Chains A and B, each alone.
Chain A
Amino acid sequence: MSRFIVRRFLSVIPTFLIIVTLSFFLIRLAPGGPFAREKKIPPEILANIMHKYHMDEPLINQYFRYVGDVLHFDLGPSFRYKDHTVNELLGAAFPVSITLGVVSLGLAVFFGTLVGIISALRQNKWQDYAAMSVAVLGISIPLFVVGPILMLVFALKLKWLPTSGWINSRAGWTTIIMPSMTLMLPYFAYIARMSRGSIIEVLRSDYVRTARAKGLKETVVIRKHVLKGAMLPIVTYLGPAFSGIITGSVVVEQIFVVPGIGKIFVQSALNRDYTVIMGDVIVYSIILITANFVVDILYGLLDPRISYK
């Protein structure tokens, strides 16, 4: 196991390097640049700007300059949000996204497995159909529909919740309710469906049959044997889901004016804000690689049949 971890960790470094290098050169291929404007900047002024950001140097020099800065944990200035460095922008947005992501994913895992267990135990009964219909509905209705509908009902009609904003605004913690409810839906649906499927499978397996034959109580069987066996696909899914929910919440952030990282991801790509894009790529790949790494280790802990040779 420890040898596996070491080997797995060693492969992270070249992966990371490839991601950074590839992205750095790739993003310059996109049409337009960070200073494309409707009212075109006169060439002399554009030259001043390019010089200020060292963008008049050969690309390879820019690359080494950038990698050097990154090694000092400096992601550079933003070309668009000129008063902020990339570190400041991502630093402000990251805690917000983590909060929203963890709350949403927590809700999704909780409700998802619960609904999955119920429908697996009541397979092909009305509870099963009801639960699975909710899950299908959760994934069929896009977030950009759910968000405005929630806002319309709970903020405008019932006036229970503020329309938008974030926790430290005047409206307080209630602002997290609608975004997290919206954001969790597709993840909830995936987890409910997947846990139902794998629980049904585990329920039929020999070791559960044995456990039942031994006369163990049903709740004990479910807690001790079924859940543990059925968690594997869910855990696998949580790796990409975690990085996805943190960075891919742009729709929810847009609708509910949440100052998170997802909007920065999309905006920076559209604005060709090179340094911010690179910052995004680095942050995202760190989250993703770590999450997948953790998932691989969890495999061994969850399933004694898995061994890394």
Chain B
Amino acid sequence: MPTLAKKNDKVVNEFNQYVKPVSLWADAWKRLRRNRMAVIGMWIVGIYMVVIFGAALLPFKSYTEQQMLHVNLPPSFKPAGLVAMGQLEKRKSDLTTAIEKSGRVDLKTDLVRIEAEIIQLKGDIDANPVHKRVYIFGTDYLGRDMLARTIYGGQISILIGLIGTLTAAVIGIVLGALGGYLGGWLDNLIGRFVDIMYSLPYMLVVIIIMSMLPTGSNSIFVLFIAIAMISWLTISRVVRGQIISLKNSEFVEAARSMGAGTGRIIFRHLLPNSLSIIIIYATLQFPSFIMSESFLSFLGLGVSAPLASWGTLVSEGVQGMQLYPWRLLVPAITMTVFLFAMNFLGDGLRDALDPQSKNRS
């Protein structure tokens, strides 16, 4: 289905209309800009990038600073002192109820402590500037600002997503396409190599790599390797499948009979026609890389506390969601909005790069 044919040195589409010859990329860009969802997605991704990677220059609170007086405060536009007071009063009444209703006399010491804290806070609330702070996204279990933690958390998560997706795409596409197109022993070799990589006990491989580094050394680099190592496996199988199904179609036969080389056939004819699946696959893998980071952080890979990633913030948030829903919702919604934007952008790219929609509006 090659849609472009030459006629009197003018380019025409399949309806025999003359069209202006434009490069693939310029054309794609034009179409991308016309896709409203993709443009919105692009803006959102852009804003995220600026805020998250420029966080150090922007007036956010510290993501490490702990305020023991402001532990687990819900999101609010009110000054922290007032919110904290409300929480303490609520705790006091909860404790009183528990002591009276269920006879939990052992909670009396807690009650005494809470009452002392209330008195202390009352005296302190105007004098101490700390209590004037506003936590619009609430605080966590050590009284740290959730907004700052979520923003800094995005750095590692987005990097991981991008690096994983890029390595997956590059290695996966090249190996998948070569195996699929050339077939024979090379295809078999690549296929078996993928099988072996899948089957090795991944967790232990990561643990072994970790153990070869001195204790406490920066493990972010290892994290990238660990993600890159397996990221390309599935996509290479998918690409191979696409290539196999396309390589005997008429337009490839045509290109071959015109003397096109292997590289040209793969990169100019086969891959553009598989792009749709590749882009869908890549955008879908993005979130799974972010999540695998939170799993690998269990093995000690990745950022170390007190810095957190979206994955670790979300997994911590789940544990306390019944009581402190914002600790889950803030990072989860931030992450989901970003992933949605990436998806719309991906869809737009797919449509824009689709060779069959070229020169069509």
Contacts and interface: CB of A to CB of B under 8 A. Distances in A.
Indicate yes or no for A touching B, C-beta below 8 A: yes
Interface of A: 7-8, 11, 14-15, 18-19, 22-23, 26-27, 29-31, 132-133, 136-137, 139-142, 144-145, 148-149, 152, 186, 189-190, 193-194, 197-198, 200-201, 204-206, 232-233, 235-237, 239-240, 243, 266, 269-270, 277, 280-281, 284-285, 288-289, 292, 295, 299, 303, 305-309
A237 B234 contact: yes
B205 to A, nearest CB: 7
A19 B196 contact: yes
Given A144-B318, A198-B277, A205-B1, A22 B284 contact: no
19 contacts: A19-B200, A27-B204, A31-B207, A140-B335, A140-B339, A142-B294, A144-B318, A193-B284, A200-B276, A232-B245, A233-B277, A237-B237, A237-B238, A266-B203, A269-B203, A288-B198, A292-B237, A299-B244, A299-B245
B200 to A, nearest CB: 6
A292 B244 contact: no
Contacts of B287: 139-140, 142
A233 B195 contact: no
A75 B250 CA distance: 51
Contacts of A27: 201, 204
Contact of A148 (B205, B245, B284, B318): B318
Contact of B196 (A22, A132, A204): A22
A30 to B, nearest CB: 5
B315 A144 contact: yes
B322 A152 contact: yes
Given A8-B188, A11-B188, A299-B241, A26 B200 contact: yes
B305 interface: no
Given A142-B315, A240-B233, A284-B199, A307 B336 contact: no
B35 to A, nearest CB: 9
A19 B199 contact: yes
B291 interface: yes
Given A269-B207, A305-B245, 6 more contacts: A141-B332, A193-B280, A201-B276, A237-B238, A269-B201, A284-B199
A305 B248 CA distance: 6
Contacts of A31: 207-208, 211
B200 A236 contact: no
B328 A145 contact: yes
Contacts of A240: 198, 233-234, 237
Contact of A190 (B248, B249, B284): B284
Contacts of A306: 244-245, 248
A236 B194 CA distance: 14
Of A8, A30, A292, chain B has the most CB atoms within 10 Å of the CB of A30
Interface in B97-117: none
By size class, the interface of chain B is 35 or more
Interface in B193-251: 195-196, 198-201, 203-205, 207-208, 211, 233-234, 237-238, 240-242, 244-245, 248-249
Nearest to A148: B318
Query: Is chain B's binding surface mostly helix, strand, loop or mixed?
Result: helix
Given A148-B318, A206-B1, A243 B198 contact: yes
Given A26-B205, A139-B284, A142-B314, A194 B241 contact: no
Contacts of B204: 26-27, 30, 269, 277
Nearest to A244: B234
Contacts of B340: 133, 136, 140
A133 B188 CA distance: 38
A198 B273 CA distance: 11
Contacts of A307: 248
B311 interface: yes
Contact of A140 (B183, B245, B315, B336): B336
Given A30-B211, A133-B340, A194-B280, A292 B234 contact: no
B350 A148 contact: no
B321 interface: yes
A296 B346 CA distance: 29
A27 B244 CA distance: 36
A309 B356 CA distance: 29
B191 interface: yes
A174 B195 CA distance: 36
Contacts of B294: 142
Contact of B208 (A8, A18, A30, A142): A30
A3 to B, nearest CB: 12
A11 B192 contact: yes
A140 to B, nearest CB: 4
A30 B343 contact: no
B314 A281 contact: no
Interface string B234-271: 10011011101100110000000000000000000000
A149 B332 CA distance: 13
A29 B208 contact: yes
